[in-house]
Structure formats: C-alpha cells, structure tokens
Amino acid sequence: MGAQDLIIRGAHVLDPGSNLDGITDVRLSAGRITEVGEGLRGVRALDASGLHLFPGFVDVHAHWRTPGREDEETIETGSAAAAAGGFTSVVMMPNTDPVIDKPVVVSGLVRRIERESRVRAYVSAALHEGLEGKRLTEMRLLKEAGAFCVSDDGLGTQSAGVLRNGMLYAKSAGLPVILHCEDHTLATGVVHDGVAAALAGLPGSPGSAEDVATAMALVLAAETSAKVHVTHVSTALSAALVGFFKVRGDITADTTPHHLTLTEELVSTLEGLYRVNPPLRPDEDRIGVGDALASGILDFVATDHAPHAASEKELPLEEAAPGFLGHETAFSALYTDLVQSGKLSLSRLIETMASAPGRWVREASGASGACGICPGAPADLALVDLSGEWTVRADALVSRSSNSPYLGRRLKGRVVGTVVGGEMVYDGIGAKFGARA
C-alpha cells in the first residue's frame, strides 16, 4: 500500500468485461487499478456510495476542430467536454484545416495532445490527401508519426477501386480504416428523404445514399480482410448489411446517440440545429439501429462530436453546417431513452460505450495487458450518479460550442467524475481525491 494509493469506496462497480456488477471497493495506484474487493483500506479514500463506477467511455469519432477552427473547439475544450461526459479515450477525425494528411501535421498534433488533452486522444489521419479520394496518403509515414487509424470522414470515398486500394494500403501499413459511408450521387439533400422532408419542403437524401456506400465498403472489406470500422450507421438496412458481412471480414460498426434517440420529426422545426450527416431518420430506422446495437450486430456507440459556431447553426436548415455536439450528453441521453425504457440493459450500454470500443482501440494501438476494471489495467474510470437529473443548457456545456440537439431536454443519469490514468480529470461533485475519507 503506497502513499499515493486511492480507494474508491462503496460504488456499484459495473464492468461487463470483468464480470463485475455489485458494490465493492477499487484501489488505484500509480495510474493503475491494483485491487478490487470489499473492505480495502488506505489513507486516501473517495466515498462513492450511491454512485456507479464504470470503465471510462471510449469515443472513436470526434471532431475537436484543431487545427483550423479553434473558435469552435480546441484540444483543451474538446477533451474537457469528453471528460465531462465520462470519456477517457477519444479518436480525433482528420477533416481539419489543414487536413491531417501529412506526417508533420500528425506529429505536431500528437505533441499538442500530450500538452493540452485531459483524456487519452488518438489521431486519425486521412485515407486520401485532402480527403479527396484521389491520392492515397503516405500511411506508413503517418503511422510512424503517431497516426492511429485512417479515415476520409466528412466525405466518404466515392470510387470502389480507389477505396479498395486504400483498404489494401492501410492493411499493409497496419492501420484500421474508419469509413463514413455516403454516396454523393444519391446524397443530394440536406435531410432524410421522407415524410418530414416532404412536409417541410426540404430537399432529401434517401437512405440508399448510405446503404449503397455501406454495401460497397463491406464487400471490399470482406475481400481485402482490411481492418474496417463503419461509423455512424443510421439505417436499419445498413445495420442488417453489417450483420451479414461482419462474419466475413475484420469488420466492426458503430452508431451514434442521436440516431438512437432522435428522428426526422425534428426537421419540422426547420431549425438549422437539427441538420446532421447522416441525417436523422424515420422511427423505423431508429428502432432497427437500436435493435442491432442491443443484439451485438453493431459493436459500439460513437458520438461524432461535431462542434459548430452559432453562426453556422442558427440558420435555415438548408444553409446550416451539419453536426451535433456529442460527448457531454451521450451517456445521459442513452440512459434516459434506452435503458430507462427497458430497450437496452445498463450492462449492454456500458459494453457499447466502454468495453467494446476500448478493446478495439487497444487492439488497434497494439496495447497489451489487462483492461477494464481489474488489477493491472490503466485507471480510466467514469463515476456516474444514475439518479441525478439535469437539464441540457447551452451556457452549462463545457464544449466551446453549444449545438446540442438535446438543448432544453431533462436527462437522467449524470457523470460526476472521470479518472484518466489515476488522475481526476473531471470533478462534478467537488470530490477532490483524498478530501473525504
């Protein structure tokens, strides 16, 4: 028992990966979990009775807008927002200005992360130079510079031949590919092409804009055996396609909190806030995607945290920039809408927000050893008050932007503490390690 030990005492510890589901104590020492059990003793203790302790959440899809749009988010504010949402690891997408497509940009970003990020952050480099789907990036050099994966997120690769080459090159470089699946010849609208779009008189993009691109990507993933992750699956058909193909390749997929909880009905407000890509879908798709997450066809949740300046969102829907904030509301929105209604178990929610994406990131980053809440694992944890209620307010968000689709919503389940490598990086209850014995 070292002087620096900290005991988190009396929390309900839930970690599906370690088969933990009950009240117990957890000892942290030198950045790691060193003991799990009842009646642990130590000098510094945090009384967490009445709270739940989960493995830290992992978000493989976020836009922290650095470099280029630091008016919308920075590594500092993006990572603080992530920490406030219980996230301990985040993958940063490369559609910045400049695009993350050169080794020098990757290494510069890695250095800034070390200085400025409160959570573990991983850099996705671009699959193609300028995300243009023409020239492949120098993936081996990008990886040497610190890139964790490659992605053309924001646009999506349009040509099958180009995408196939990209998968093969990424595989040879040992990098996973995160795919935003969207066919630009079909995705010509600003919302989902359905009843709500017709009533509002807005140009719509059909679900096939996603499904056709998803099918193409999955066929190529199965053939090349590249490590492929399909992000923000938003239609029931794309989810079913993932289910068909995932046994045929090294394929995983995620969906977002907003596609699991919101529908195209919000389009009737005509507010630019509700523009997002892929668009909010009909209820059948929301239900289909939720069923796929519950059954394990979809592996995890990722937020696609996409901050935008008010001037880009407070516009008519057709002119607004697509995207929502995600980090700070993800757990609460899903707990409120899916767990409390009995559609998803709390255990499965933690698996999809923490255990499964955590395993994926560890595997992709070549990390070995224990993970989750067990001795030897890094002390990355989320402390949550499930009975806590809060109202999402723009002025209370940690992000530099405030484009949350849940503004004004009352949500249940509140993250009250986040620990990364044994350090409390978010303290929502004034707990301060060691202050309470």
Task: Work out how close the CB of 156 gets to Zn ion at its nearest, in angstroms, rounded to a whole number.
Answer: 7
Task: Give yes or no for residue 264 binding Zn ion (CB under 5 A).
Answer: no
Strand ranges in 16-146 using DSSP code E only, listed in sequence order: 20-29, 32-37, 44-47, 52-55, 57-62, 87-92, 120-126
Task: Give yes or no for residue 210 binding Zn ion (CB under 5 A).
Answer: no
Task: Give yes or no for residue 308 binding Zn ion (CB under 5 A).
Answer: no
The catalytic position among 193, 304, 337, 380 is: 304
Task: Work out how close the CB of 154 gets to Zn ion at its nearest, in angstroms, rounded to a whole number.
Answer: 6
Integer Cα distance of 314 and 301 in angstroms? 27
- Which one of 304, 328, 337, 351 is in contact with Zn ion (CB under 5 A)? 304
Integer Cα distance of 16 and 346 in angstroms? 10
The Cβ of residue 41 has, within 10 Å, a number of other Cβ atoms equal to 11
CA distances from residue 364 to 158, 174, 214 in whole angstroms, order as listed: 25, 8, 22
- Which one of 15, 72, 153, 351 is in contact with Zn ion (CB under 5 A)? 153
* Per-residue contact string for residues 174-203; x = within reach of Zn ion by CB under 5 A: ------x-----------------------
User: Measured from the CB atom, is 5 or 153 closer to Zn ion?
Assistant: 153
**Near Zn ion by CB under 5 A, which window of 113-121, 238-246, 248-256, 302-310?**
302-310
**Following CA atoms 159, 163, 164, 165 in sequence, which dihedral angle do they give, to the nearest 10 degrees?**
110
**Near Zn ion by CB under 5 A, which window of 169-177, 200-208, 300-308, 344-352?**
300-308
User: Measured from the CB atom, is 210 or 304 closer to Zn ion?
Assistant: 304
Task: Give yes or no for residue 15 binding Zn ion (CB under 5 A).
Answer: no
Task: Work out how close the CB of 372 gets to Zn ion at its nearest, in angstroms, rounded to a whole number.
Answer: 27
Task: Give a three-class secondary structure readout of 46-84.
Answer: EECCCCEEEECEEEEEECCCCCCCCCCCCHHHHHHHHHH
Amino acid in position 224 = T
Instruction: Give me 14's structure tokens.
Output: 């839930």
**Near Zn ion by CB under 5 A, which window of 84-92, 152-160, 186-194, 197-205?**
152-160
User: Measured from the CB atom, is 62 or 419 closer to Zn ion?
Assistant: 62
Determine if residue 345 is left, alpha or beta; phi over 0 gives left, psi from -120 to 50 gives alpha, anything else beta.
beta
How do 32-37 and 20-29 pair as beta strands? Answer: antiparallel
CA distances from residue 174 to 22, 161, 246, 247 in whole angstroms, order as listed: 39, 20, 19, 21
Task: Work out how close the CB of 340 gets to Zn ion at its nearest, in angstroms, rounded to a whole number.
Answer: 28
Task: Give yes or no for residue 305 binding Zn ion (CB under 5 A).
Answer: no
Residue 183 designated active-site: no
- As a whole number of Å, the CA-based R_g of the chain is 21
Q: Which residues are catalytic?
A: 304
Residues that bind Zn ion (CB under 5 A): 153, 180, 304
